[in-house]
């Protein structure tokens, strides 16, 4: 399990080629803008006027968040410092974008989540202020975190460790606590809480392993592990650990199904929130 104060570096894990992805994003923007003057202006200002993906992403993130005590110039400086010290943040962001496009059938391109999807944008800001948190600049991290909560209605603590290929769909009401760990290729829907169980201190939040799908409104509480490839049903309350390749649902959550994990698509990829037929008789 990764330490809860480290950034997970996904850049070497089948990371996409940034230049190739940038070419794809620009091509999409050109097609989207054609024939619609207002949209064409947005595509140009947000994507086509930039020479690089990182510049376009920082501009989009800053324009979305700037306000109050955090002016655009300050946010630009903070974002670029984080990226310069953690260059893997760029391929990680692209993996998140690809996850959004692949797992949400409403997105027919990568431009839509890049410009408008608050799950993607809140996640990238968390990676930036997490850098501040682990660098000993907790009050600045908390200031940006607070602003993100106001703008995105998504609350991811600066101490949270996030893997890559993360997909937070819709996002409204998602709360993830300080010592939570979310590993690679996880999908989380709206209203999910990865929280504690009270006033305990120390390592007190869930550890979500690779490929997990967490349904809308699920509450996972305490320093428990949600095993690789598990599925948590919508509206469930999970207070004990979940074994790998297991489906749980209910209040409190109970075992619904178990798979061997061989040859099955990860729930986070399939986004299938249905349960298999129950095999029982009365």
CA distance 1 to 103: 26
For residues 273 and 237, which has the higher predicted lDDT (pLDDT)? 237
The DSSP H or E segment spanning 43 is helix 37-43
Six-digit token string for 95 = 């993996």
pLDDT of residue 103: 97
pLDDT of residue 1: 36
Question: What number is the average pLDDT over the span 249-261?
Answer: 93
pLDDT of residue 34: 87
Q: Does the pLDDT at position 20 exceed 80? A: yes
Transcribe 214-244 into DSSP letters. E-TT-EEESS-EE-TT-EE-TT-EE-S-B-T
With bands split at pLDDT 50, 70 and 90, how would you rate the model's confidence at 271? very high
pLDDT digits (tens, 9 = 90+) for 130-158: 999 999 999 999 999 999 999 999 999 99
pLDDT digits (tens, 9 = 90+) for 217-231: 999 999 999 999 999
Q: Indicate the average pLDDT of the chain.
A: 92
CB 181 within 8 A of CB 1: yes
With bands split at pLDDT 50, 70 and 90, how would you rate the model's confidence at 10? low
pLDDT of residue 96: 97
CB 251 within 8 A of CB 170: no
Six-digit token string for 241 = 């650990």
Pairing of strands 246-249, 254-258: antiparallel
pLDDT digits (tens, 9 = 90+) for 30-60: 999 988 899 999 999 999 999 999 999 999 9
- What percent of the chain has a predicted confidence (pLDDT) above 90? 86
Question: What number is the average pLDDT over the span 19-35?
Answer: 94
Q: Does the pLDDT at position 9 exceed 70? A: no
pLDDT of residue 261: 77
Question: What number is the average pLDDT over the span 64-82?
Answer: 97
Q: Does the pLDDT at position 278 exceed 80? A: no
pLDDT of residue 142: 98
With bands split at pLDDT 50, 70 and 90, how would you rate the model's confidence at 12? very low
Phi, psi of 246, deg, nearest 5 = -125, 145
Q: Does the pLDDT at position 258 exceed 70? A: yes
β partners of residue 249? 254
What single-letter DSSP state applies at residue 10?
A: -
pLDDT of residue 201: 93
pLDDT digits (tens, 9 = 90+) for 166-216: 999 999 999 999 999 999 999 999 999 999 999 999 999 999 999 999 999
What domains appear along the chain, each with residue ranges and CATH number?
1-153 (1.10.3130.10), 169-273 (2.160.10.10)
pLDDT of residue 2: 39
């Amino acid at each position: 399990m990764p330490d809860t104060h480290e950034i997970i570096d996904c850049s070497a894990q089948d990371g996409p080629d940034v230049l190739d992805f940038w070419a794809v994003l620009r091509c999409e923007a050109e097609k989207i803008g054609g024939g619609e003057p207002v949209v064409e202006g947005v595509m140009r200002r947000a994507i086509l006027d930039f020479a690089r993906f990182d510049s376009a992403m920082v501009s989009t993130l800053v324009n979305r968040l700037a306000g109050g005590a955090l002016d655009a110039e300050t946010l630009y400086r903070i974002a670029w410092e984080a990226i310069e010290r953690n260059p893997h943040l760029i391929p990680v962001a692209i993996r998140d974008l690809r996850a959004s496009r692949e797992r949400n059938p409403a997105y027919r391109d990568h431009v839509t989540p890049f410009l408008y999807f608050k799950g993607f944008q809140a996640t990238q800001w968390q990676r930036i202020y997490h850098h501040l948190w682990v660098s000993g600049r907790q009050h600045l991290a908390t200031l940006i975190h607070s602003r993100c909560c106001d703008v995105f209605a998504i609350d991811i603590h600066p101490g949270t460790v996030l893997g890559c290929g993360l997909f937070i769909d819709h996002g409204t009401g998602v709360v993830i606590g300080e010592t939570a760990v979310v590993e690679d290729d996880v999908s989380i829907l709206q209203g999910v809480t990865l929280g504690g169980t009270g006033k305990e201190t120390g390592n007190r939040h869930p550890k979500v392993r690779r490929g997990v799908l967490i349904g809308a409104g699920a509450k996972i509480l305490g320093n428990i592990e949600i095993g690789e490839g598990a599925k948590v049903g919508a509206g469930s309350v999970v207070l004990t650990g979940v074994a790998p390749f297991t489906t749980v649902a209910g209040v409190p959550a109970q075992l619904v199904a178990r798979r061997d994990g061989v040859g099955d698509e990860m729930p986070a990829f399939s986004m299938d929130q249905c349960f298999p037929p129950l095999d029982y008789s009365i």
